[in-house]
Amino acid sequence: MYYVVTGAAGFIGSNIVRELNARGEADILAVDNLKNGDKFRNLADCEIADYFDKGTFLAELEAGAFDGDVAAVVHQGACSDTTERDGRYMMDNNYRYSLALLDFCQDQEVPLLYASSASVYGAGPVFLEEREYEHPLNVYGYSKFLFDQVVRRRLADRTAPIAGFRYFNVYGPREAHKERMASVAFHFFNQYLSEGCVRLFEGWDGYGDGEQRRDFVSVEDVVKVAMYFLEEGSRSGIFNVGTGASQTFNDVAVATINACRAAAGERPRTLAQLRDDGAIRYVPFPNDLKGKYQSFTQADIGALRQAGYTEAFLTVEEGVARYVRDMLEPV
């Protein structure tokens, strides 16, 4: 029996494949679209049984090639570019693709774990898995929102577990291919190494310079949540996956710089000191993001805790320090 991981060469998908390997699983069908061929590097240190292009996989799926051979589907494949405006592409790639997998899993009576997104909440300010708080600001968020609605309608009559994970701001190893859509921790790290400073947005929407707040969650914790649901094997629903706490972009910048300083044998510095040194600088808030930007996110993780997940989440200071050490390691 195989584990199917879609988006397997992507950020979260490849981390899930790697963790399955660490747990002794190598019967993995990796599904992705390698139009961006550089993503292969995320799978180069992983063990898989076979690789399928998304289009080939869907054709084989519909032809019954995998009937009776799948233990679970971990669906991470999606276009995650929040600025993508091609709605037809977004709905086909994110919504219709997910529907096909949902139908397969219910027909075959196998668990489906899938990636939703905190983008369904739009500007917030309440981040609770209930319809009244869901107001996506872009077509990416809408594609995730619409599939969540289908899942909700089918939960009562499900034949196998269905678990959707609304990821908040995920950062960590194997995201370099995402380029401009990579996490702020990734961008701050590269800015600091190349320029000796990091650049944050000036204040807007009632927040001071760099004081916009997000729920930043390490991919390590995201993978732990997925493994819990795979192993527990019976939980269904839609769950926020974040730390349950918000921290500022300034916090991420300070954590990134101080992790770099620690690696160089230098003492940590405070936000005020880093501002005075010019190591943290601010740029005007882009006009084209006004009204389309989440200035605050904070996951309500009550449903996740009620599902039995009890592990503590890494703070920005803990998780970013680990991530920086990973990026500084020689390849």
pLDDT, tens only, 128-156 = 999 999 999 889 999 999 999 999 999 99
For 205, the 3-state DSSP assignment is coil
Say which residues have a Cβ less than 8 Å from residue 136's Cβ, sequence separation at least 6.
119, 120, 121, 122, 142, 144, 145
Q: Which of 140, 171, 192, 309 is catalytic?
A: 140
Q: How far is 309 from 66, CA to CA, in rounded Å?
A: 31
Reported as a single tens digit per residue, the pLDDT across 77-124 is: 987 777 777 788 888 888 999 999 999 999 999 999 999 999 999 988
Indicate the range of 18-22, 53-57, 149-153, 178-182 predicted with least confidence: 178-182
pLDDT score recorded for residue 116: 97
Reported as a single tens digit per residue, the pLDDT across 233-258 is: 899 999 999 999 999 999 999 999 99
Among candidates 10, 237, 217, which has minimal Cα distance to 130?
237
pLDDT score recorded for residue 87: 81
Please compute the mean of the pLDDT values over residues 218-229 and round it to a whole number.
98
Among candidates 49, 39, 51, 50, which has minimal Cα distance to 14?
39
Per the annotation, the verdict on 133 as an active-site residue is no
- Could you tell me the pLDDT band of residue 331, with boundaries at 50, 70 and 90? low
Reported as a single tens digit per residue, the pLDDT across 36-62 is: 888 999 999 999 999 999 999 999 999
Per the annotation, the verdict on 178 as an active-site residue is yes
- Considering the chain, what is the average pLDDT of its residues? 95
Q: Which of 133, 178, 207, 224 is catalytic?
A: 178
Bridge-partner residues for 51, per DSSP? 30
- The pTM for the full model equals 0.94
pLDDT at 260 over 80: yes
Reported as a single tens digit per residue, the pLDDT across 291-306 is: 778 899 999 999 999 9
Q: How far is 325 from 258, CA to CA, in rounded Å?
A: 11
Please compute the mean of the pLDDT values over residues 258-280 and round it to a whole number.
97
